């Protein structure tokens, strides 16, 4: 038997997985999965956040978004509630995406812009605003 040379830095075998790099699907996403992705993004939720809200592992949300396997029947009402849509809207392509309710005018425009920022910057804004809102609630009660 002949000894193999140790892998070099450029070899594929030694490159670590980088979770920050989104992977591309090798096949087109099924319509149902694409609808779930669109609804999740319209609700400004990550897969992990949605999973936490409905009490499921993040891997289940990823599976539902990437395959033609639908969510389990017990998860469907939870999904609809978390995404702010009717159960029918989870499966109907013809309906428009829900428009988030909330403030209008300057504040709505500002939060629409905040929603476009990377998650870390959004978290910093939340860290800044949360104490102000809590203080207001405390004084109002």
89 shares a domain with 124: no
- Residue 49 belongs to what domain range? 28-94
Whether residue 109 is predicted with pLDDT greater than 80 in this model: the reply is no
| Alpha carbons 106 and 97: distance in angstroms, whole number | 22
Count of structural domains within the chain = 2
| Alpha carbons 62 and 71: distance in angstroms, whole number | 11
* H or E element that contains 33: helix 31-42
> What is the mean pLDDT of the segment spanning 75-95?
85
135 shares a domain with 82: no
Read off the CATH number of the domain in which 60 is found.
Answer: 1.10.260.40
| pTM for the whole structure | 0.52
88 shares a domain with 37: yes
Cβ neighbors of 58 (< 8 A, separation 6 or more) are 47, 48, 51
Task: With cut-offs at 50, 70 and 90, classify the pLDDT of residue 45.
Answer: confident
């Amino acid at each position: 038997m002949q000894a193999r040379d140790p892998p070099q830095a450029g070899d594929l075998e030694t490159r670590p997985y980088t979770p920050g790099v989104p992977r591309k699907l090798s096949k087109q996403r099924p319509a149902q999965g694409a609808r779930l992705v669109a609804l999740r993004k319209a609700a400004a939720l990550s897969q992990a956040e949605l999973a936490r809200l409905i009490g499921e592992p993040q891997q289940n949300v990823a599976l539902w978004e990437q395959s033609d396997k639908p969510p389990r029947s017990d998860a469907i009402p939870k999904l609809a509630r978390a995404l702010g849509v009717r159960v029918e809207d989870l499966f109907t392509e013809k309906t428009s995406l829900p428009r988030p309710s909330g403030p209008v005018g300057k504040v709505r425009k500002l939060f629409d812009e905040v929603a476009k920022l990377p998650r870390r910057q959004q978290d910093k804004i939340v860290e800044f605003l949360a104490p102000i809102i809590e203080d207001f609630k405390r004084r109002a009660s």
